[in-house]
Chains A and B, each alone.
Chain A
Amino acid sequence: MKVLLVCSSGGHLAHLTSLEPWWSAHERHWVTFETLDATTKLVGEKVTYAYAPTTRNLVNLVRNSFLAVRVLRRERPDVIVSTGAGSAVPFFWLRRLAGRQVRTVYLEVIDRVDSPTLTGRLCRPVTDLFCVQWAEQLRWYRGALLVGKVW
């Protein structure tokens, strides 16, 4: 199984790196930002750097969409996993470029309990498996699965 892990750096990346016991068993590729924490945490990993910032930034959304087309066609993952933020949106909506049987998995971040995230809402229609960490987050995302906290 090949996994594509898409995230912003900082807390979003920390969520995905804490899943190491899971992804270390699979072939994988990362898409994140080129910041100090990302470059030092992902030493030895295969990484493509996306355009930042993505918060309410249409120019980078367009750039990341072109990036998503290239990366999905080149890597052809079986599973796309993301915790957000904005860089995930084009990867989820263009997922079929990776192959017709690709599955998308979204893990909502641990610090948004009282409101949903914009990325979560934008990705929900095209997510096969939507996971949340708190029971209170289930009310924002129909059909989501409570998996528990990443720590």
Chain B
Amino acid sequence: MSTSPALDPTDPVEPEALPTLEELETRTEPETPDELATLEALDLPDPLDALDPFTGPRVAVLLGTDRHPFDRLVSWASLLAAEEQDEWLVQHGYTRWPDVAGTPGHVTATRMLGVDDLAPLLLNAEAVVTHGGPGLIMEARAAGHRPIVVPRDPARGEHVDRHQLDFTARLAADGTITLVHTVDELRTAVREARASGRDISVNGPQNAEMIARFAAAVDQARRSPRAPLWRWLLRSLDPRSLDPRRPRT
């Protein structure tokens, strides 16, 4: 209890006589009604609002910048999003969005996203679904997600060749991603991802070692003589350097 003259309990309470900082730091009583009224009149923003995890879409479905259509994933996303009430965002790129007029209000369909929209989207979303492109998988992982991936299938005209299928099979084998092949698998995977959420300790690519190795190699290359012309000629004339199927020793 303060005993300074300004807060003498026998005096009438004056709204201007708010406690000093030192008094605030040591006092144990709650604010008086006048102090509360003053604080309310100031209308300060609540800093916890900025940390509200429930802003923005809960699920992000990202198809990237590839020019092949990927109607399969877009139709699955549109179906699953309509089953839920929470916000979904589908970045459909060069694929047509199936039913523009019938899109529910909680589903946002957009063609492309800049980095200023993608970054907060990934930080706020509970689950991220992507096609098999390394860029988006990388971005999702850098935001602490284990992305749910539907690779593009060349047999359905979704991509130029099967490298997304091969690449994502490897990543699924070492647990980097969750690979799904049907709409039911996608539904289950999204539910599970939302239940566990992202790893908030991850913020950016975890590649410090790789960068150190790369930087050292570049410095070494600068100090070393450049590759001489005769070695270049030998290498480019060697038919083995052009045949990818021949195994190397």
Chain A residues whose CB sits within 8 angstroms of the CB of B64 once the complex forms: 10-11
Complex CA distance for A22 and B226, rounded to whole angstroms: 22
Complex CA distance for A67 and B247, rounded to whole angstroms: 37
Complex CA distance for A150 and B247, rounded to whole angstroms: 26
Complex CA distance for A36 and B64, rounded to whole angstroms: 11
Complex CA distance for A145 and B216, rounded to whole angstroms: 12
Complex CA distance for A53 and B94, rounded to whole angstroms: 14
Closest partner residue, chain B, to A133 (CB atom)? B210
| Interface status of B142 (Cβ within 8 A of chain A) | yes
Chain B residues whose CB sits within 8 angstroms of the CB of A149 once the complex forms: 207, 210
The answer to whether B113 and A121 touch across the interface, beta carbons within 8 angstroms, is no
| Interface status of A34 (Cβ within 8 A of chain B) | no
1/0 per residue, CB under 8 A from A, across B188-225: the answer is 00000000000000000111111101110110111010
Interface residues on A, range: 35 or more
The answer to whether B170 and A105 touch across the interface, beta carbons within 8 angstroms, is no
- Shortest C-beta distance, A138 to chain B (Å), equals 7
Interface residues on B, range: 35 or more
Chain A residues whose CB sits within 8 angstroms of the CB of B222 once the complex forms: 1, 78-79, 103
1/0 per residue, CB under 8 A from B, across A1-45: the answer is 100000001111111001101100000000000011101110000
Complex CA distance for A125 and B139, rounded to whole angstroms: 32
Complex CA distance for A103 and B218, rounded to whole angstroms: 9
Stretch of B5-13, B48-56, B121-129, B130-138 lying at the A interface: B130-138
Main secondary structure of the interface of B (DSSP, over half): helix
Chain B residues whose CB sits within 8 angstroms of the CB of A116 once the complex forms: 244
The answer to whether B217 and A145 touch across the interface, beta carbons within 8 angstroms, is yes
- Given A14-B135, A22-B214: A111 touches B163 (CB 8 Å cut-off): yes
Choose one: A10, A111, A147; the contact of B213 (CB below 8 Å). Answer: A147
The answer to whether B207 and A131 touch across the interface, beta carbons within 8 angstroms, is no
Which residues of B108-123 have CB atoms within 8 Å of chain A's CB atoms? 112-116
1/0 per residue, CB under 8 A from A, across B225-249: the answer is 0110000100110000110100110
Point out residues on B near A: beta carbons under 8 Å. 64-67, 112-116, 132-136, 138-139, 141-142, 160, 163-164, 166-167, 170, 205-211, 213-215, 217-218, 220-222, 224, 226-227, 232, 235-236, 241-242, 244, 247-248
Point out residues on A near B: beta carbons under 8 Å. 1, 9-15, 18-19, 21-22, 35-37, 39-41, 53, 55, 78-79, 81, 101, 103, 105, 107, 109-116, 121, 124-129, 131, 133, 138-140, 142, 145, 147-151
